[in-house]
Structure 1
Amino acid sequence: MSNAGLFFEEFKTALLTSVNTSMPCEVLAYNESTRTAKIQPLFKVKDKGYDPISLPPIESVPVLKQKYKVNGGPVQEYVPVLDRGDTVLVVFCQRAIDDAQNGQNVFPGISRMFSIQDAVIVGVF
């Protein structure tokens, strides 16, 4: 492979590994009243020439609730119960979710994209 080809291959790999989509995380703490958790990502990151390192814990991660209609009855809202040590699936939103969590249509003026700070817990493994 040429030097240019090698450069672009390494650049592509670096770019793709910097985009967070989803990953398993461990629950370190859960506040049921605010439906937020402190989590520890379970994937390590590695820069070329260095040892893998753990990502830092992520604070105040929203936990999705669920709405179900059971046996034709009224719609019921279910709040998740998470325990310390649970392994959860976390997704990372495409843009900053700070202003959109209240359900309004907003322009995410913050330039943050696919950040671990925009994590949302979607379920337990």
Structure 2
Amino acid sequence: MAKDTKFLDAFARQIKLSIHTIAPAKVVRFKENERKADIQLLFMTVYADGTKEPYGMIEDVPVLYQRFKLNQGKSFTAKINGVTQTVQVEQDLVFTPFLRAGDIVLVGFAERALDNLTNKPFDPEFHRTHDVQDAVILGVLM
């Protein structure tokens, strides 16, 4: 019975290690105009026999950005360069990411392939699931 349990435990661990969810990565290069980065995952690949190796570089990983509506277009008071002023922001504020080589980021992996992503429901066409090729940078850790 103990051998059966060890086999099942090892098998379950191997399956879990093959499902990518979220991982830390280091930015190698950031392409600001495209909002994409080349990254190196900081976790290593672990094989069934216990050997480990680093992942290869993942290129052109999209970086999330944020869009906010500030105070819903209503006036508010703000201190700008030491001077209190009344401000009204009528447009959405878009916070564009800026990364530097060496930044440590948090990367998520899509459930299915993102190759055919559009603004409509789509068939991913590819059978990849939780794959490193479908990484998205969620934010900066350090």
- Above 0.5 in TM-score? yes
* Structure 2 residue 128 is the aligned partner of structure 1 residue 112: yes
Counterpart AA for 1:116:
V
Give the % identical residues: 35
Q: In structure 2, which of residues 92, 95, 109 is the aligned counterpart of residue 92 of structure 1?
A: 109
Q: Give aligned pairs, total.
A: 124
Report the CA distance between 1:50 and its aligned residue: 4.7
Q: Which has the larger radius of gyration?
A: 2
Q: Residue 14 of structure 2 contacts residue 48 of structure 2 at CA under 8 Å; is this kept in 1?
A: no
Unaligned runs of 5+ in 2: 73-88
Number of the residue aligned with 1:53: 53
1:1-125 maps to which residues of 2 (within 5 A)? 1-72=1-72, 73=89, 74-100=91-117, 102-125=118-141
TM-score, normalising length: structure 1:
0.91
Distance across 2 between alignment mates of 1:26 and 1:123: 12
Which aligned runs of 4 or more in structure 1 are off by greater than 6 angstroms?
none
Q: Residue 17 of structure 2 contacts residue 46 of structure 2 at CA under 8 Å; is this kept in 1?
A: no
Deviates more, 1:82-91 or 1:47-56: 47-56
RMSD of aligned alpha carbons: 1.4
Report the CA distance between 1:52 and its aligned residue: 2.1
Number of the residue aligned with 2:83: none
Unaligned runs of 5+ in 1: none
Q: Deviations over 1:63-96 (max 9, x none)?
A: 1111112344332111100001000000000000
